[in-house]
Amino acid sequence: MTELSFIHRYEPATDPKRPPLLLLHGTGGDENDLLGLGRMSSPGSALLSPRGKILENGMPRFFRRLAEGVFDEEDVRFRANELADFVAEARRAYGLEAPVAVGFSNGANIAAAMLMLRPEALAGAALLRAMVPLSSAPQVDLAGKRVLMISGAMDPIIPADNSNRLAASLSASGAEVQHQMLPSGHNLSQTDLSLLVKWFGQPGQ
């Protein structure tokens, strides 16, 4: 594995027509967590999967939080820029186009922050159980970027109005947002995978 600024896993593409994926785990996950999901969602895509650098009670995350659902926004900004720099580094090292982020929970939140702060780093994003990462979203142009958001109507961590607010904010910035609300909680289900496969199979992805 090439030495870069984040501990990570990399799997080269076997289908050059598929976009590279940036896989971003949830709290307590690591660089191995979403490899299976990435392989199933977009078979043949190159997979780039970093491990979050923040430890919360020994569990890796991508940024600090002050309490559940309360983010350290200064750290969110710092870490989103740090991760975008890693993506640029990895693109040079592995010869990749801008990746599509596939993030779960904390990983989805840092992906949303990257879209808002460093839009050039990502070609698009699939945000699974995401919430608003920054209380005041910067003005940004996301025209041409496709975003899939999948939320859980019974998610105990993320109120529905919060995920709806994030979807509206990304849409207002010009992203082509598809927001699905599932009758589920915070954990992923087979339906999430089916929606991912369908979204990645659509033209333009």
* pLDDT at 137 (0 to 100): 81
Segment 51-66 mean pLDDT: 96
Name the pLDDT band for 2 (thresholds 50, 70, 90).
Answer: low
Q: Work out how many domains the chain is built from and give that number.
A: 1
**Catalytic residue, candidates 25, 155, 179, 192:** 155
* pLDDT at 157 (0 to 100): 93
d(CA 130, CA 157): 10
The CATH number linked to 172 is: 3.40.50.1820
171-199 tens-digit pLDDT: 999 999 999 999 999 999 999 999 999 99
**Catalytic residue, candidates 105, 151, 169, 173:** 105
Q: Establish if 133 belongs to a structural domain.
A: yes
Q: Establish if 205 belongs to a structural domain.
A: no
Average pLDDT of the chain is: 95
Q: Is 189 annotated in the active site?
A: no
Which residues make beta-bridge pairs with 180? 150
- Assess whether pLDDT exceeds 60 at residue 79: yes
Tell me the two tokens of residue 26: 């949830």
* Nearest CA-CA partner of 117 in 150, 157, 73, 161: 73
* Nearest CA-CA partner of 9 in 46, 37, 63: 46
Q: Is 105 annotated in the active site?
A: yes
Quote the DSSP letter at residue 155: -
Q: Tell me, what amino acid is at 136?
A: S
- Assess whether pLDDT exceeds 80 at residue 1: no
Sheet containing strand 146-152, strands side by side: 8-11, 47-50, 21-24, 100-104, 124-128, 146-152, 176-182
- Assess whether pLDDT exceeds 60 at residue 5: yes
Q: Establish if 26 belongs to a structural domain.
A: yes
**Catalytic residue, candidates 72, 184, 186, 189:** 186
Which residue reads 């070609």 in tokens?
Answer: 123
d(CA 32, CA 9): 7
- Assess whether pLDDT exceeds 70 at residue 153: yes
Q: Is 179 annotated in the active site?
A: no
Q: Establish if 3 belongs to a structural domain.
A: no
> Where in the sequence is the domain holding 142, given as residue range(s)?
8-200
Q: Is 53 exposed, middle or buried (0-12, 13-18, 19+ CB in 10 A)?
A: middle
d(CA 147, CA 168): 12
Segment 126-152 mean pLDDT: 95
* pLDDT at 138 (0 to 100): 86
Q: Establish if 2 belongs to a structural domain.
A: no
Q: Establish if 118 belongs to a structural domain.
A: yes
pTM of the model: 0.96
- Assess whether pLDDT exceeds 80 at residue 204: no
